[in-house]
Structure 1
Amino acid sequence: MIRTVADLLSGILRDELPKLDSASVKHAPTIGDMYEGLSSALLSRALPDGLGLRVVSGFARDGRGRLSGQLDCMVVRGEGEKLPYTNSYVWHVKDIIAVVEVKKNLHSAELRDAFAHLNTVGEIEHAYYQSEDEEPDDPDRDVSPSVRTFAEMTGRIAWNADDGIAALPYEEESVFHVLLLEQVSAIRVILGMHGFKSERAFRASMVEYLERNIGNIGFGPTSFPQLIISGGYSLVKTNGRPFMVPLVDGWWRLYFSTPENPLRLLLEFIWTRLDEMYGLGHSFWGEDLETEVGRALLSFRATRVDGRAGWEVQAHEADDEALNGVPVAEQWSPEFVGEEEFVLLTRLCQGKSVRCDDPKMLSWLESRGVEIDDVRNRLLETRLVASSGQELRLITRKCQLAILPTGEYIAAENSTGRLDRWISRRIESLREGASDGGSE
């Protein structure tokens, strides 16, 4: 369904955008209103019915009178305050799901302006969520999505109800705190209807902007918008909602670029948040058998230098040939595991304990000529399991296993029915192959 809706919105944009581009009006505020109006219409069509969500313009506020700059589009829930004799609203940050800053053209100057403008929302959010004003019993503030994302990125369980927050290395602790803030903060999007003529130029502009501000406050991982769109190219944040990458030596590949349909990316971010809050159901995700392939742009690593905490940054350079050599998407596949991993995953799915210091398990593995460290590492590489001391735990919402007709063992997260659909296709493909072979 997500592809269908994205294609529908793309068709509307393709039909309506030329009308705005050719409008004879030269009054800048009116031109801005037209593009903001089109963006609001697209966002409104993208929201599921029955959730009481709206798209408005106006200002974000906290409980102490602090206001953001004026915002073009906000996806909101609950109630806000309408400003007299205007169509603008003031909305509390806790009830803002997404904020979109709209630009007719997004080049370097507009990128800098929009980035700074959206940070006024982040400043209010950070102050609110780190203050005593936050509502501690808000049901939408369940930290389990952040715990799961962190476990997928690192192979570690950071927190659970029994043990509280685990002792983590500084680099990983910093990442976990970022993930928690990303979960509760509004999705921030810069939407440029037109923009850079090449993906490489777009990437270079972001790197140049960052280089000019190295060491300045407001350029850590939480300051970056989740999505920046410039015409047909996008810069995308890997905060686990929905895009995730594992940490490598403490480095977090936080930003990637892609020529993927930008409206599909926008839907991915918003629907993932709504799914966490309300539960959208399987049908919203469609077949879901393709995954985006990002072209790495910026990597961050938490560090301490002379007692000061901060983030190291690496920019990943790529010319046009290198960028074009990376596919936009690839076919999704479950994890193919060995028999030992399959047995241990089965125990976990049955609710049984798996500990790496269990004498019976160690004896069984030894009888098969397998080292526990090898099995443990292979299980962690599946991103279905993470460790808490000597214990291995499932980190999925619905892990399921299967044995294919070929005798291969597979495992995957199946909360959206993705594994079921993959197996159906695989069996159909095997049958077609057998049929073709029998006719020769």
Structure 2
Amino acid sequence: MIRTLADLLSSIIREELPKLDNAPVKHAPTIGDMYEGLSSDILNRALPDGLGLRVVSGFARDGRGHLSGQLDCMVVRGEGEKIPYTDSYVWHIKDIIAVVEVKKNLHSTELRDAFTQLNTVSEIENAYYQGADEEPDGPDQNMTPSVRTFAEMTGRIAWDGERPVKLSYEDDALLQTLLLEQVSAIRVILGIHGFKSERAFRLSMVDYLERNVGITGFGPANFPQLIVSGGYSLVKANGRPFMTPLVDGWWPFYFSTPENPLRLLLEFIWTRLDEMYGLGGEAWGEDLETEVGRTLLSFRAVRVDGRSGWAVQTHDADNETLDATPTMKQWSPEFIGYEEFVLLTRLHQGKDVRSDDPEIMSWLESRGVAFNDVRDRLLKTRLVASSLQSLKLIAKECQLAILPTGEYIAAENSTGRLDRWISRRMEN
């Protein structure tokens, strides 16, 4: 459904955009209003019915009178305060789902301006969520999605039963960032036109970051979830929905893609709405393709000389490499061995899988397999994570199957994706 809707909205933009581009108006604020109006209309069309959501412009606030800069589009719920004699609103940050800054053209200057503007939203959020005199009262404080994302990224459990697990500084910084990502507004920079090539867009972001290394306001949580410049996008892999496992302790945090930016925008917003309201598996359609991200930035929490912060790696790619990299690949469940299948079945049945279980160790020994080898293969599935000597199931709905070929498979199936994959494979 998301892909179909994104294609429909793209066709509307293709039809309406030439009218704006060719308008005889030269008044800059009016030109800005036209592109913001088109963006608001597209956002309204993209929102599911029946949830009481709307798109407005105006300002974000906390409960202590702090205001953000003026924002082009806000996807909101609940009630806001209309500013007299205007069409703008002041809306409490807890009820803002997404914020979109709109630019007719997005190049280096506009990128810096929009980034700075959206950081005023981050400042309001920090004042709200960390303020001692105002307790967050939003209804969406279930941190399970962030804890699951952390486990998928690291292969380690952050919450064991009723108690948090003691984490290293690096892991704790990552978890806290993921928690903030879950509750903060989705921030988007939408450039209708922009860079002529994906590489030029990537280099512009790297240049902007390098000019601000060491300055507060450029950690992972400050980056917009999505930046669009014409036909290219920079996307945050924060687990909602896009997730990348750590690589040697580094978080491959930002990637570029020439994929349909409206589909990416819908993925971010609908994932948030699914966490808040439960949209159901039908919202995602077939969902049998996954994005191939071209990594741009990797982050890692560090402590140097008593100071805490984030180290960053940039990943260069020439035009030839970018052009040769596919944007999508066919989704497939995890093909696993018999030993992994048996242990996953135990976990699925609510039984323990521990490295000090005599029965499990004896059975694996009889098959000539080491527990550590099976554990490592299971961790690579991102369906389980480790907690001391135990393995824990972290998938929302892990499903197992044996194919007619005798192969064993396992996958997350909360949206029915594995069912659809099996049906298509059987048809073929």
TM over 0.5: yes
8 Å contact 1:172–1:250 — kept in the other structure? no
Letter in 1 for 2:111: L
Q: For each residue in 1:220-244, what CA deviation from the matched residue of structure 2 results, as whole angstroms up to 9, or x when unmatched?
A: 0011000000000000000000000
- Secondary structure of the 1:140 match is coil
Cα distance, 1:69 vs structure 2: 0.2
- Secondary structure of the 1:117 match is helix
Counterpart in the other structure of 2:413: 414
- Secondary structure of the 2:140 match is helix
Cα distance, 1:134 vs structure 2: 5.5
Q: For each residue in 1:297-353, what CA deviation from the matched residue of structure 2 results, as whole angstroms up to 9, or x when unmatched?
A: 001111010000011111101110011111000000000000010001111111111
User: What RMSD, in angstroms, separates the aligned Cα atoms of the two structures?
Assistant: 0.9
Q: Which runs of 5+ in 1 are unaligned?
A: 430-440
Q: For each residue in 1:352-386, what CA deviation from the matched residue of structure 2 results, as whole angstroms up to 9, or x when unmatched?
A: 11112111100110011000000111111100001
Cα distance, 1:161 vs structure 2: 4.6
Cα distance, 1:388 vs structure 2: 1.4
Q: Which moved more, 1:175-184 or 1:354-363?
A: 354-363
How many Å separate the matches in 2 of 1:416 and 1:133? 40
Equivalence map 1:106-145=2 (5 Å): 106-132=106-132, 135=135, 138-145=138-145
How many Å separate the matches in 1 of 2:99 and 2:396? 28
- Secondary structure of the 1:139 match is coil
Taking structure 1 as reference, are residues 134 and 274 closer, same or farther at Cα in structure 2, changes over 3 Å only? farther
Matched, 1:177 2:176: yes
Counterpart in the other structure of 2:328: 329
Counterpart in the other structure of 1:319: 318
Counterpart in the other structure of 1:97: 97
Taking structure 1 as reference, are residues 119 and 349 closer, same or farther at Cα in structure 2, changes over 3 Å only? same
Q: For each residue in 1:274-301, what CA deviation from the matched residue of structure 2 results, as whole angstroms up to 9, or x when unmatched?
A: 0000000111100000001000100111
Taking structure 1 as reference, are residues 361 and 136 closer, same or farther at Cα in structure 2, changes over 3 Å only? farther
Counterpart in the other structure of 1:59: 59
Counterpart in the other structure of 1:158: 158
TM-score by length of 2: 0.99
How many Å separate the matches in 1 of 2:378 and 2:132? 40
How many Å separate the matches in 1 of 2:388 and 2:322? 40
How many Å separate the matches in 2 of 1:32 and 1:67? 22
How many Å separate the matches in 2 of 1:84 and 1:18? 34
Counterpart in the other structure of 2:258: 259
How many Å separate the matches in 2 of 1:51 and 1:9? 20
8 Å contact 2:128–2:136 — kept in the other structure? no
Cα distance, 1:248 vs structure 2: 1.5
Cα distance, 1:131 vs structure 2: 2.1
Q: For each residue in 1:127-155, what CA deviation from the matched residue of structure 2 results, as whole angstroms up to 9, or x when unmatched?
A: 21112355466431100000000000001
Letter in 2 for 1:64: R
How many Å separate the matches in 1 of 2:35 and 2:354? 57
Alignment: residue pair count: 428
Q: Which runs of 5+ in 2 are unaligned?
A: none
How many Å separate the matches in 1 of 2:138 and 2:39? 30
Counterpart in the other structure of 1:363: 362
- Secondary structure of the 2:166 match is coil
Report percent identity of matched pairs.
79
How many Å separate the matches in 2 of 1:70 and 1:175? 30
